[in-house]
Structure 1
Amino acid sequence: MKYRSAFDIIGPVMIGPSSSHTAGAARIGRVARTLFEKQPAKAVISLYGSFAKTYKGHGTDLALVAGIMDFDTFDERIPEALEIARQVGLEVEFITEDAVTEHPNTVKINLFDGEGKELEIVGISIGGGTIEITEINSFKLKLSGAHPAILVVHQDRFGLISAVTSVLSKYEINIGHMEVSRKERGDEAVMVIEMDHKIDDGVFAELNFLQGVTQVIRLVD
């Protein structure tokens, strides 16, 4: 991969011994929390590869749970994340998997609110605190978490992608990266759009109002 600056190699300001195993893990957890849009009641965290082998020694377990509770990479509460989770009623289960994945630092996070809402994401920590989200609810995609982004859940139908991008164009919002994923033709689909700037409440409301759009979630860096 190409690094944009020395800080991509050194890593972010963080609590923990490893940018990939700690800071990256916290960021994956925080993306999951943002997508879930609320504090979950339960988190099932499945670890693969290097994560599965070293997660306790490198504090990956603490970082993932801290991110799920919306702590940043430098939050001084990270070392107490498991105890804090217990105090706030967040049930956490860790599973170490033997399956071989494309990247050694891979984690699958399943979140539940106890009232029927569920979310599943798969993320990888690729070094220097940099991450990629590769699946959301079985939709294959690529989300870096490094730029302002929106996730648009919509019906797979003609003209909807154009409608979304037209709204962004109207407000002079430049798209840096965009992917669309669907499970079946005409079924539910997901757009992931990374942008140069955050969108304000007016743009957010206009996107939500588009016919065929069922949900818009803002992800900020």
Structure 2
Amino acid sequence: MRFKDVFSIIGPAMIGPSSSHTAGAIRLGRVARQLFGELPEKAEITLYGSFAETYQGHGTDLALVGGLLGYETDDELIPHSLEDAEQAGMEVVFIPSNNPAIHPNTAKITLSGNSKELTVVGSSIGGGNIEIVNVNQFDVKFTGIYPTLVIAHQDRPGLIADITAILRTEHVNIGYMDLDRKSRNGEAMTVIEVDSPISDRLIERIRSVDLIHTVGIIDLTERG
């Protein structure tokens, strides 16, 4: 990853000792929470590499749960996130793993509740930056730096063109796109990073496209 400025290296304003183990972990949790769309009833968090070795000493557990609660990297509530999660009715389970991972600071976050489940795999790659590499077993990548659409849909000819046509008519520029599918004409997922905020009107227009199942929105610039 090419760092854009000094703050990409030293990290954002934050609570905690490490931009990788705290600020990045908070953002991983926030991405999962935003994709899930509500407070989950249960969060099962599998930790890999240095996350697994030092998650309690470096406060990674507090940061990941703080992100699931919607806390920002500099939120003074982060040290109390485990207690806050319990009071909010969210069960949290940490599973340190010895299995190899794509990056030393990697977590798999599985959220469940309200008859739905979501799995997000991502890494904290330095300076508070993150990279998501898998959502619900689809190999899609995004960073959360820009507003992002995560669209689950059926694989069919012309569907991506329908989505991009909507973005064009709404004057939304695409900065990055990634797609994965499980089989031809089967389940698929498309990720689109855009250069401007994602409006409710845009979301509703995309949701109305035939054979689109869900539309998730990531915007880490939003507070809470």
* TM band (smaller chain): over 0.9
The total of aligned residue pairs comes to 220
> 1:45 Cα shift?
0.5
TM-score by length of 1: 0.97
Tell me which residue corresponds to 1:117: 116
Tell me which residue corresponds to 2:205: 206
Letter paired with 1:73 = T
Identity %: 51
Tell me which residue corresponds to 1:39: 39
The alignment partner of 1:145 has SS state of coil
- Provide, for residues 16-49 of structure 1, a one-character-per-residue CA deviation record: whole Å limited to 9, x for no partner: 1100000000000010000000100110110000
Letter paired with 2:218 = L
Tell me which residue corresponds to 1:97: 97
1-side partners of 2:116 and 2:215: how far apart? 16
The alignment partner of 2:87 has SS state of helix
1-side partners of 2:163 and 2:46: how far apart? 34
1-side partners of 2:101 and 2:203: how far apart? 36
2-side partners of 1:127 and 1:199: how far apart? 27
1-side partners of 2:102 and 2:39: how far apart? 30
Letter paired with 1:58 = H
Letter paired with 1:184 = S
Tell me which residue corresponds to 1:196: 195
Tell me which residue corresponds to 2:107: 107
> 1:116 Cα shift?
2.5
2-side partners of 1:34 and 1:203: how far apart? 17
1:133 aligns with 2:132: yes
1:48 aligns with 2:51: no
1:168 aligns with 2:172: no
Letter paired with 2:33 = R
Tell me which residue corresponds to 2:24: 24
1-side partners of 2:84 and 2:127: how far apart? 26
1-side partners of 2:51 and 2:145: how far apart? 21
2-side partners of 1:116 and 1:209: how far apart? 23
Letter paired with 1:6 = V
Letter paired with 2:204 = A
2-side partners of 1:208 and 1:116: how far apart? 20
Letter paired with 1:143 = F
> 1:184 Cα shift?
1.3
Letter paired with 2:95 = I
RMSD of aligned alpha carbons: 0.8
2-side partners of 1:218 and 1:112: how far apart? 18
2-side partners of 1:120 and 1:152: how far apart? 15
Letter paired with 2:146 = H
The alignment partner of 2:131 has SS state of strand
The alignment partner of 2:74 has SS state of coil
2-side partners of 1:2 and 1:61: how far apart? 28
2-side partners of 1:20 and 1:144: how far apart? 14
2-side partners of 1:204 and 1:86: how far apart? 32
Q: Please list every run of 5 or more consecutive structure 1 residues that lacks an aligned counterpart in the other structure.
A: none
Tell me which residue corresponds to 2:149: 150
